[in-house]
């Protein structure tokens, strides 16, 4: 599935972490590192994407992801258009392809796409004009590659090398695009061990084929890990007979201070947000010294700047053409 790379092996689209060469993943992290300085300056802009147009195409509601993409694009000096399709357009009967054609006619350079259907970003990437890049901001249960990369960035900042790390992902892996992308990213970057911890109802079939060790018992799963990633538990999971109750889930899989004591003493706790306190994680852990949850949000901007600039780099900007 590497229709996301250009002829030189650089990023053209960013649809999934799966199959991405390690060197490229490391380059995303390195580029993000160089942008983190920009974010901390008083003038938070670089002119890399001046004259470029980025369209945020969100078919599902999102606050955090959309705003960090918007900030990232603006800090690269791009023009940004937000289109919230959770409320308009395709609901008027316009087909997805027709809508893409119309937006392309506005001379945009990049679509940032969030969609409820797995594979939607691939579909859009296959149908856009060759000069347009597509960045997947979450498609169904499939992938959320920039979220995974900002998580990797956060892990690297706190832990350094991936090789010795044991990472546990806890919770609803079945429905999680974030978890799938994290698993590919961790394995792609050479993490020592990737564990998934959940009841069987929240694990996809053959999840070990993604390169994970499966644990159903959280005490065994958290033993000696360096990183604990908790996932959000959606309330609707109770209706599909996947779980009996939030209370029982918390009893069996909630991340508490007591359970964190099983992990290494310097372990960090992560969560892609938004948090359900008292369902998947205890407040004392979420707000405690091991939590890096807010760092994840900040790092999201630098990582998204890196991905957007890498997708559009090497192509002559309109400014250069005029010079």
Partner 1 sequence: MSRLTIRNARLIDPASEHDGISDLHIDSGRVLAVGPAPAGYSPEQELDASGLILMPGLVDLGACLREPGQEHKATIASEAAAAAAGGITSLCASPATDPITDTTAVVELITRRARQARQSRVIPLAALTRGLQGEQLAEMAAMKGAGCVAVSDGGRPVINTLVLRRAMEYASTQDLPILLTPVDPFLSDGSHMHEGWVSTRLGLAGIPVAAETAALARYLALVEETGARVHFCRLSSARGADMVRRARQEGLPVSADVALHQLFLTEMDVSGYDSNCNVLPPLRGHADREALRHAVADGVIQAICSDHRPHDPDAKQVPFVTAEPGISGLDTLLALTLRLVEERLLDLPTAIHRVTAGPAGILGLTAGRLQPGDPADLCLLAVDEPWRLDQQTMRSHGRNSPFMGWEFTGRVRMTLLEGRIIHQAPETVAPA
Q: Out of 52, 114, 180, 271, which residue is the one contacting partner 1 (CB under 8 A)?
A: 180
Q: How many residues bind partner 1 (CB under 8 A)?
A: 26
State which H helix or E strand residue 43 sits in.
none
Q: How far is the CB of 46 from partner 1 (least distance, A)?
A: 34
Q: How far is the CB of 125 from partner 1 (least distance, A)?
A: 10
Select from 24, 26, 108 the least CA-distant residue to 312. Answer: 108
Per-residue tokens: 301: 């901007």
Stretch binding partner 1 (CB under 8 A), from 119-127, 185-193, 242-250, 269-277: 119-127
- Work out whether 118 is an interface residue with partner 1 (CB under 8 A): yes
- Work out whether 119 is an interface residue with partner 1 (CB under 8 A): yes
Quick note: the x/- pattern for partner 1 over 272-311, rule CB under 8 A, is: ----------------------------------------
Stretch binding partner 1 (CB under 8 A), from 46-54, 134-142, 295-303, 314-322: 134-142
How is the chain split among helix, strand and coil, in percent rounded to 5? 40, 15, 40
Stretch binding partner 1 (CB under 8 A), from 44-52, 95-103, 228-236, 290-298: 95-103
Per-residue tokens: 116: 């409820």
CB 72 within 8 A of CB 304: yes
The whole-angstrom separation of Cα 304 and Cα 309 is 8
Stretch binding partner 1 (CB under 8 A), from 21-29, 89-97, 164-172, 262-270: 89-97
Q: Which is nearer to partner 1, 123 or 215 (CB)?
A: 123
Binding positions for partner 1, 205-234, rule CB under 8 A: 205-207, 209-210
Rg of the Cα atoms in the chain? 20
- Work out whether 109 is an interface residue with partner 1 (CB under 8 A): no
Q: Out of 28, 57, 73, 120, which residue is the one contacting partner 1 (CB under 8 A)?
A: 120
DSSP summary character for residue 317 = P
Select from 275, 309, 305, 306 the least CA-distant residue to 292. Answer: 275
Quick note: the x/- pattern for partner 1 over 45-64, rule CB under 8 A, is: --------------------
The whole-angstrom separation of Cα 316 and Cα 98 is 28
Select from 286, 288, 265, 310 the least CA-distant residue to 133. Answer: 310
Per-residue tokens: 47: 């002119």
Q: How far is the CB of 177 from partner 1 (least distance, A)?
A: 6
Bridge-partner residues for 318, per DSSP? Answer: none
Stretch binding partner 1 (CB under 8 A), from 22-30, 68-76, 101-109, 203-211: 203-211
Q: How far is the CB of 192 from partner 1 (least distance, A)?
A: 22
Q: Out of 52, 114, 177, 195, which residue is the one contacting partner 1 (CB under 8 A)?
A: 177
The whole-angstrom separation of Cα 187 and Cα 181 is 10
DSSP summary character for residue 162 = S
Q: Out of 139, 151, 172, 282, which residue is the one contacting partner 1 (CB under 8 A)?
A: 139
- Work out whether 204 is an interface residue with partner 1 (CB under 8 A): yes
Q: Which is nearer to partner 1, 19 or 160 (CB)?
A: 19
Q: Which residues of 200-234 are buried (b: 16+ CB within 10 A; e: fewer)?
A: eebbbeebeebebeebeebeebbeebbbbbbbbbe
The whole-angstrom separation of Cα 6 and Cα 49 is 19
- Residues within the interface to partner 1 (CB under 8 A): 1, 18, 95-97, 115, 117-120, 122-123, 127, 139-143, 177, 180, 204-207, 209-210
């Amino acid at each position: 599935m590497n229709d996301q790379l250009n002829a030189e092996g650089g990023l053209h689209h960013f649809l999934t972490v799966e199959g991405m060469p390690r060197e490229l993943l490391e380059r995303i992290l390195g580029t993000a590192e160089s942008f983190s300085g920009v974010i901390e300056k008083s003038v938070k802009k670089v002119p890399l994407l001046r004259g470029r147009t980025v369209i945020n195409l969100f078919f599902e509601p999102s606050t955090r992801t959309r705003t960090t993409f918007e900030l990232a694009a603006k800090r690269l000096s791009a023009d940004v258009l937000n289109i919230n399709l959770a409320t308009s357009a395709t609901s008027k009967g316009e087909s997805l392809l027709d809508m893409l054609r119309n937006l392309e006619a506005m001379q945009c350079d990049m679509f940032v796409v969030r969609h409820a259907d797995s594979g939607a970003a691939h579909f859009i990437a296959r149908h856009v004009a060759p000069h347009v890049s597509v960045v997947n901001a979450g498609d169904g249960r499939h992938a959320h590659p920039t979220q995974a990369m900002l998580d990797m960035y956060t892990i690297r900042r706190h832990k350094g090398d991936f090789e010795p790390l044991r990472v546990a992902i806890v919770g609803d892996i079945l429905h999680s695009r974030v978890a799938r992308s994290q698993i590919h990213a961790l394995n792609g970057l050479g993490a020592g061990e990737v564990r998934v911890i959940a009841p069987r109802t929240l694990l996809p079939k053959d999840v070990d084929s993604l390169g994970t060790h499966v644990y159903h018992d959280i005490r065994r799963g958290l033993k000696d890990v360096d990183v604990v990633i908790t996932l959000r538990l959606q309330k609707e999971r109770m209706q599909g007979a996947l779980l009996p109750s939030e209370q029982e889930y918390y009893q069996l899989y909630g991340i508490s201070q007591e359970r964190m004591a099983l992990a290494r003493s310097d372990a960090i706790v992560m969560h892609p947000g938004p948090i359900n306190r008292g369902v998947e994680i205890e407040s004392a852990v979420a707000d405690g010294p091991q939590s890096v949850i807010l760092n994840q949000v900040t790092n999201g901007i630098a990582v998204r700047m890196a991905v957007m600039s890498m997708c559009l780099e090497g192509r002559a900007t309109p400014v250069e053409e005029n010079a």
